[in-house]
Amino acid sequence: MSRAATPDELQLASRLLPGLDTAGARVEEGGQFHRVLVLAPHAAIRMARTAQVSADMPRNVALHQAVADLLPIDTPRPLGPITEAGGLGNVAMSFIPGSAHPPHSGDPLILRRIVRELAAVDIGTLEPLLAAPFAFRGEWTEERIAATHDALPGQLRGPARTLWDQLPMLAGAPRSLVHGDLAGHNMHWVDGQLAGILDWDLAAAWDPALNTAYLALWHGQEMIEQIAPDTDQAHRARIWLGLMSLERFSDTISRTDSPNLGKLLRKIGPRILRAAADCSASASSRKLH
């Protein structure tokens, strides 16, 4: 959701970026952690929504700067210090042009290159700034697994259990830079070319197959083998897609606004079944060899 900037927001822009022309300034409301005051083509001001997000802003700003220094892909850099307004933090970041790629399509060669470039980043210097794995939705505790299992329809309980059984294997996968919410509106494209990647708040040292999974979820799951650098990562990406579906279901059953579970299950059920079938096929192949 986009709206015109308020007078207070324009005043904030003038404080952070004196002399900048604010004509046409708009605010993007879609982010969970920040509102973003867009001052195209010069800057984007991240405005924390909560005290917790505000307290975490110094880490996020340092992380964005560090990623921008290490990654051969354009990413937002801080343009100045964090400034408080209304008790919450705000920071001006460099502007990345473009818009989200149309879903269910994309050039797998470009997407594979992105996965490889993320995997090539030395995470040693980044680790103190990175979020923990599962920072967004939380880890799969036994209690959460049990509640999700019991809420699933019968035909999905066995496949779901198959996927949860893969968690120890996934925990032992090699670690590299994982964006945490790759694709969609966090990737800006111009004329079919990647202009930059935004919103690194959830970046973690984690299984690189997650980057393939995120990209495939947006651009097309039939491209997983073309996006993933190797067959092992393609296999893990399919498992992660199934687990992401279970995470979404787990979040949904905790809501109090009567969500349409039937509609959700029609969407995520095939992903869960396909991921579980891939696990079974992989296990059979290992036995044969």
The domain segmentation of the chain, as residue ranges, is 2-94, 108-288
CATH of domain 2-94: 3.30.200.20
Other CB atoms within 10 Å distance of the CB of residue 258: 6
pLDDT digits (tens, 9 = 90+) for 123-157: 999 999 999 999 999 999 999 999 999 999 999 99
CATH of 108-288, one of 3.30.465.10, 3.20.20.140, 3.90.1200.10, 3.40.50.2000: 3.90.1200.10
Instruction: Indicate the average pLDDT of the chain.
Output: 95
171: Cβ contacts below 8 Å, ≥ 6 apart? none
Does residue 63 surpass a pLDDT of 60? yes
CA proximity to 85, closest of 15, 34, 149 = 15
- The confidence score (pLDDT) of residue 283 equals 67
- The confidence score (pLDDT) of residue 204 equals 98
Does residue 288 surpass a pLDDT of 80? no
- The confidence score (pLDDT) of residue 285 equals 59
Partnered with residue 39 across adjacent β-strands are: 43
C-alpha–C-alpha distance, residues 47 and 63, integer Å = 17
Does residue 262 surpass a pLDDT of 50? yes
The helix-helix angle for 142-151 and 231-253 (nearest 10°) equals: 80
The reply to whether the predicted model has a pTM over 0.85 is: yes
Does residue 287 surpass a pLDDT of 60? no
